[in-house]
Structures are given as structure tokens and as C-alpha cells.
Amino acid sequence: MGRQGASQLTEVELQILRILWDLGPSPVRDIHARLNADKGTNYSTTVKMLAVMLEKELVKRDETASPHIWRAAVTRDSTGKKMVKDLVDKVYDGAAMSLVLHALKSAKASPEELDEVRRLLDELEGK
Amino acid sequence: MGRQGASQLTEVELQILRILWDLGPSPVRDIHARLNADKGTNYSTTVKMLAVMLEKELVKRDETASPHIWRAAVTRDSTGKKMVKDLVDKVYDGAAMSLVLHALKSAKASPEELDEVRRLLDELEGK
DNA sequence: ACTCATTAGCGAAAGATTTCGCTAATTCGG
DNA sequence: CCGAATTAGCGAAATCTTTCGCTAATGAGT
């Protein structure tokens, strides 16, 4: 028995992507240093997760370099966009506004950022 | 080997919560009808998932009624809020604004909703 | 009370994710 | 070039999630 497909990013996959978005292209050693700091896992685990993610094309590897250099194959932005869409669909039944309100309320936004939202709002209202 | 704690809502858990948020308090039969329509799983599966979720206190059960009546123990709003916070933390490193912008852009918002966002914005800017 | 249908639940199996032990290959310092 | 350290990787195990078979309990109709 068990499960079938569906699949999003898993917990560790997202953690690793975050590290790569943050560090930029890096060797396993550096990625592992961060992951290990976060959760105390083994070096082999990091290597394995990267292999899994390579298979899923979430990361790319430059094997001409030594040690190999790894980089994210998806951007933070596109990933975020996808996850937002998913969240909106799954929790708010497509009503993105509730999410926006939640997010705004919990945000510590600078005036500049708020202005940016306001500008987008103007644009959406066609002013 | 394997995994350790952490845990968010899982896929099916969220599906079931959605159903309960939508239907309101319901017997397994009704919950199952929906879940089965979504993914064609067995009645036993629905019962089991509810049991698991009861254990995690995601749902409540009224066993005085017959058949038992199940209801969500967490609200759509609080769940959404938590997930938004999580998403913001995990993908945007706490910068909620990027998420807000993504969400606004992908939303088909009515003028009323946009106004609501605008009002909240005013409030946040202390006007 | 008896039969049948519905409801409740356990426990094990299947699938998915995460972990690591162990080995091989590569690189580095001498 | 040789031994030690670092890097790469496979394959199996641990854990978590989802699924269901099978049995027991409950309730409805006769």
C-alpha cells in the first residue's frame, strides 16, 4: 500500500535550496557546513540529498571543477511563486487576498516596501 | 536511520482539513465522500487518517453522536497564518513583502478586496 | 432476537523521505 | 610516488506518511 505521486519540495530539499540561494554556487563542503549547523546531519546525508535533487533537477552540478560545484537550478522567486500559488489554492481556495492580508499583518515592512505594495495596488486598479 | 521531528501538515491532513472547513462538522461518511472524489481512496483510509489527526489534535470528535461527528480543531485562518509565516521564513527569509507581491500579482482580486488591502496598508503606515 | 448494513478501529504493508555506513576515487603534502 | 585526507557515491536502513484488509461493534429493519 502507501502513497502515490503529487510532490512538492520536501523539507530538506527546501533547506538546501535556501542554502544555495544564500551562498551561491558552492562545493558540498560548504553546503554541508550550513546544513549540519541547522540540523546536525552527516556529510553523507548532504551528498545524498544533493544527488536526489540533481535527479529531480532542482540543482545543477559542475563536475569539471574539483571539488564539484553545485548550484540551485530553480530560483527563489519562481519557487516562492509556485509555493504561494499552492498555498492559496490549498488553504484559501484560490482567494489570494486572505493570504495577502495575513502576510501583510505579520510582516515588519519598511515604508518603502509598503509603498511598493501600494504602487502595485494602483497598477492593478488601473490608475 | 531515518528522520526526526519537525513536521508540518501533511498533504492528506490538509486535504481533510479543507473538507472539514468546507462542510463543517460531519460524519466520516461525508468526509470520505469528498476525499474519495478527490483521490479515490478507501473508506478505511479516511477513518485512519482521521484517527491520526485526532492524535495530533488537528480534529475533534463527538462520540456521543452516532455516527460520530468530526470537526476541525484548527481554523482555516490560523492554519493559513501559520503556513504563510512558515513560507515567508523558509523561502523569503522573513521578507514577507516579496510574498505579498507574488500573491497580489497572481491574484484575481476584486476592487473591494484591493480596497481592503489598501485600508490595511493605510493602517500600517499609521495614517 | 436475527440478519444485514453501516461504522469504528487495529495493525501491518506500501510508498516516500531522510539518514548514514562503508567503499572507491581523487587530491594533497611530503 | 606514497600515505593521509578529502570528496563522491551506492545501497540499505530508519522514520514518516498513506493505504487498506480484516475484524469488531453498533444500529436498523423485520
A47 contact B CB<8A? no
The count of other CB atoms within 10 Å of the CB of residue A18 is 21
- The strand D neighbours among A residues 33-62, by Cβ under 7 Å, are 43-44, 47-48, 51
Please compute the mean of the pLDDT values over residues A112-120 and round it to a whole number.
86
Of A14, A97, A104, the CB nearest to B107: A97
Give phi and psi for B59, each to the nearest 5: -135, 160
Judge: B114–A107 Cβ closer than 8 Å, yes or no: no
Round and report the angstrom distance from CA (B4) to C1' (C16): 15
| CA-based end-to-end distance of chain A | 56
* Distance between CA atoms of residues B124 and B127, nearest Å: 8
The answer, as to whether pTM is greater than 0.95, is no
Query: Are B70 and B25 within 8 A, CB to CB?
Result: yes
List beta partners, residue A72.
A59
Please compute the mean of the pLDDT values over residues B1-29 and round it to a whole number.
90
What pLDDT is attached to residue A6? 47
Nearest residue of chain B to residue A2 (CA atoms): B45
Q: List, for residues B67-95, the tens digit of each pLDDT value.
A: 999 999 999 989 988 998 888 889 888 88
Sign of CA dihedral A71, A73, A78, A84: negative
What pLDDT is attached to residue A58? 97
